[in-house]
Amino acid sequence: MDKNRMIDRRKFLKRSILGAAALTIVPRHVLGGNGYLAPSDQLTKAIVGTGSMGRGHLNYAGTRLIAVCDVDKKHLELGKNLVAEKIAAYHDYRELLLNKDIDIVHIATPPHWHGIMSVDAAKAGKDIWCEKPMTRTIGEGKRVQEAVKQYGRMFRLNTWFRFTDNFYGLGTPVKPLKKLVQSGLLGWPLKVTISKHTGFDWKFYWVGKEYLEPQPVPEELDYDMWLGPAPYKPYNAHRVHGTFRGYWDYDGGGLGDMGQHYIDPVQYILGKDHTSPVKVEVDAPQQHPDAIGTWRSITYTYEDGCQIVLWGGDYGNPDTPYIAGPKGNVYKNFVCDIPNWEKKLADYPEPAPQVTDFIESVRTRKKFALNEDNGFRSATIVNMGIAALRLNRTLHFDPVKLEFINDEAANRLLDQPMRSPWHI
């Protein structure tokens, strides 16, 4: 890495913390001393990671892009061209975080960077819009949750299906499903099956290659900085950019890619935002220590008997309902087998309202619908499954202590070592 270009991490953190303390880490434009943004002000944002995901999430109302950051010079040039006016461009995200004109940092990097960048952004007084999965490990997620609270930031995890759009093959937004479940008409406990048969595809093309030949690093890529906290592995084009999801060091394959999109709304539907499953079981081939493979099923069980079942590929019974309950079932395309269920459901209350506009959240300092707390819990479900896949065995989990029970190897996956000098 070019040492002249790098900022000493201790100095960075010291400057971030001192700067935050000077104004109790409120946004850039403040009305009086209460921490509220002037309604007429347009919020500014920066994007860290201007690959396809970063460039694809440019336009959200009420914001103006003023900075981009990427360790690939070609991606950085593409990022600079996202808007007509001249904007700041950075190679090192820590330099970007020192820019006091930035209100919101959008983190669109590979997941092995999400934890460190979110914590550093919180310390620097920035509100955070983070791509899924929230973090690559349970321990990193806990650190993000703590930092967001400590520094008074607003956090959005970028999966939106719990509050908008049709929920894949269900053919309906999540809200009616939530209302049906909380009405009790289906009974309790419930089993939710997420599979191709119920309208969900786990993208099994996100698999790694077991034997990668070392290749020369492209001139435009700072590969050492791309790796960051991940263990050093010789460069191969399949490790980076569009195919990084196939390697445990950076993501979790199809489960890591789509897990929070599919599972977070289920967590909300079941009313499990405050807890985690107590057991995860896997049916899968033995996984390679570096390259991610496929799996047949992953089953999560909560203390009250509710289950979330994931079926990969074409595995499982095509006639299985999406939600199975003692009193009724819900199938693909929101077909329910309870007689007159729509008429009965009309008498029940609607789900509680949520703040679903992140710009409103930033301006009012009210928590966004999918934040550091419930986002951490749905990320934990994903990361529990990844741990069970890597070890290829059933794991038992304590949702209060946030650790696996009597399993040292599984607990080593909670907080995985980071390559020096990176740490949270």
Report d(CA 401, CA 301) in Å as an integer: 17
Contact in structure between 162 and 261 (CB atoms under 8 Å): no
Burial of 295 (0-12, 13-18, 19+ CB in 10 A): buried
What is the reported pLDDT for 205?
87
The dihedral over CA atoms of 10, 376, 205, 311, expressed in degrees to the nearest 10, equals 160
In this structure, of 31-40, 363-372, 374-383, the range with the lowest mean pLDDT score is 31-40
State the pLDDT confidence band at 204, using cuts at 50, 70 and 90.
Answer: confident
- The first and second tokens of residue 414, run together, are 């909670």
Q: Is the pLDDT of residue 98 over 50?
A: yes
For residue 177, pLDDT over 80 is answered with yes
- Tell me whether the CATH fold assigned to 44-157 matches the one assigned to 174-414: no
Main-chain dihedrals φ then ψ at residue 297, nearest 5 degrees = -155, 150
Q: What is the pLDDT of residue 25?
A: 39
Domain at 44-157, CATH homologous superfamily: NAD(P)-binding Rossmann-like Domain (3.40.50.720)
Distance (Å, rounded) from C-alpha 4 to C-alpha 24?
32
Which superfamily, per CATH, for 174-414? Answer: Dihydrodipicolinate Reductase; domain 2 (3.30.360.10)
Q: Looking at the predicted structure, is the pLDDT value of residue 175 above 60? A: yes
pLDDT digits (tens, 9 = 90+) for 132-143: 999 999 999 999
Instruction: Give the pairing of strands 43-48 and 104-107.
Output: parallel
Please say if the pLDDT value at position 13 is more than 60: no
| pLDDT tens-place string over residues 34-80 | 444 444 478 999 999 998 777 776 667 789 999 999 999 999 999 99
The whole-number pLDDT of residue 57 equals: 66
Query: Is the model's pLDDT at 190 over the cut of 80?
Result: yes
Residues 6+ apart with CB under 8 A from 253: 204, 206, 207, 208, 245, 246, 292, 293, 294
- Read off the pTM: 0.90
Q: Alpha carbon of 190 to those of 174, 184, 185, 279, 331: distances in Å? A: 16, 10, 11, 16, 13
Distance between start and end Cα atoms, the chain: 20
Quote the mean pLDDT of the chain: 91
Domain regions of the chain by residue span: 44-157, 174-414
- Is 402 a residue whose pLDDT tops 50? yes
**pLDDT at position 32 over 60:** no
Q: Average of pLDDT values for 179-203?
A: 97
Strands 127-130 and 155-157: parallel
Counted residue by residue, the chain has a size of 424
Q: What tens digit of pLDDT does each residue of 99-129 get?
A: 999 999 999 999 999 999 999 999 999 999 9
pLDDT of residue 58: 64
Is pLDDT at 2 greater than 80 in this prediction?
A: no
Q: What percent of the chain has pLDDT over 70?
A: 90
Give the residue, 384 or 5, on which the prediction is more confident.
384
pLDDT score recorded for residue 59: 66
The Cα–Cα gap between 190 and 176 comes to 16
Q: What is the pLDDT of residue 55?
A: 74
Q: pLDDT tens-digit profile of 216-250?
A: 999 999 999 999 999 999 999 999 998 999 999 99
Comparing 4 with 227, which gets the higher pLDDT?
227
Give 303-320 pLDDT, tens digit per residue: 999 999 999 999 999 999
